Amino acid sequence: MLRELGARVQIPPVAFFFFYSFAVFILLFFILAESSLELVPKEIRKHSQIRKACVKKGIKPEKEILDASYHYNAIKELCFAEKRGRPDIVHVCLLFLQDSLVNREGKLRVFIHTLNNRVIHVKPDVRIPKHFDRFIGLMRQLLRVGRVPLKGEPLLFVEEKSIKDLIRDLKPEATIGFSTEGRVITDLISFFKGFGANKDLAAVVGGFPHGEFSPETVEVFDDTISVSRYSLNAWTVASIILNCYYYALIV
């Protein structure tokens, strides 16, 4: 995939340790995979639609978040175009995940894996801006600089990492992929109960609008589950997973 690297601040391993050292509980790792969140990639920065949209906003193309609402024609020139330019998916999912009961109980860790193999680590108590424009402002800084805030303990930080390496580091007991292609499970509460309350699990949901998971993502799944006969939005699937997990293993 294409990469927009920008200026980065490296997060030392010690910061990673502090970020997760309090994780003494059994956790649900929620991974929004191949998420449609990136800076405008180099190959379309000179596209007339990008230039016009950026002039209007008074921002340089290399600092702007790719968004199909403004950059639709330019995105058509990129590979995997159908999966790109939807930062709103990450926004809505994060608003829901951070406010969920599982997170309030301290048992959720959220990771935003992006289409260009970057992983955003989200601290459990970070408050996501409700207004989309403010969220985009935050993402512009995060994707360029690599962390928010710039100094002190990071609330959000970015690593260059594949989903395979993320799963290897987290070491969940099982990694469950959620997809319309999976085996249908209508009683997700019983499904989660089957794992028992003493094992870390990873739930992987696609953070893209159309298309399927790449083979590299599918490779990390121990099981693939469909929760409905409908193709749902990522945030709807996230709410089903989080609510079923809560009633199965926390209440």
Rounded to an integer, what distance in angstroms lies between the CA atom of residue 136 and that of residue 120? Answer: 14
Using CB under 6 A, pick the residue from 178, 192, 245, 246 that binds ligand SAM.
Answer: 178
| CB-nearer residue toward ligand SAM: 153 or 181 | 181
> By C-alpha distance, which of 221, 190, 187, 189 is closest to 205?
221
| CB-nearer residue toward ligand SAM: 131 or 229 | 229
**210 contributes a contact to ligand SAM by CB under 6 A:** yes
Q: Which residue has the tokens 């790449």?
A: 214
| CB-nearer residue toward ligand SAM: 98 or 217 | 217
Using CB under 6 A, pick the residue from 35, 117, 179, 217 that binds ligand SAM.
Answer: 179
Rounded to an integer, what distance in angstroms lies between the CA atom of residue 150 and that of residue 8? Answer: 11
User: How far is C-alpha 234 from the chain's CA centre?
Assistant: 10
Question: C-beta of 116: minimal distance to ligand SAM in Å?
Answer: 17
Binding segment toward ligand SAM, per CB under 6 A, in 69-77, 137-145, 160-168, 226-234: 226-234
> By C-alpha distance, which of 217, 166, 216, 222 is closest to 194?
222
DSSP H helical segments within the chain, as ranges? 13-20, 48-57, 68-75, 87-99, 101-104, 132-145, 163-170, 188-193, 215-218, 234-245
| CB-nearer residue toward ligand SAM: 145 or 218 | 218
Using CB under 6 A, pick the residue from 69, 73, 190, 231 that binds ligand SAM.
Answer: 231
**154 contributes a contact to ligand SAM by CB under 6 A:** no
How many Å from the N-terminal Cα to the C-terminal Cα in the chain? 41
Using CB under 6 A, pick the residue from 39, 120, 176, 227 that binds ligand SAM.
Answer: 227
**205 contributes a contact to ligand SAM by CB under 6 A:** yes
User: Backbone phi, then psi, for 19, in 5-degree steps?
Assistant: -60, -35
User: How far is C-alpha 158 from the chain's CA centre?
Assistant: 11
Question: C-beta of 109: minimal distance to ligand SAM in Å?
Answer: 18
| CB-nearer residue toward ligand SAM: 10 or 190 | 190
Are residues 37 and 1 in contact, defined by beta-carbon separation less than 8 angstroms?
Answer: no
Residues of this chain that bind ligand SAM (CB under 6 A): 178-180, 205-206, 208-210, 212, 226-228, 230-234, 237
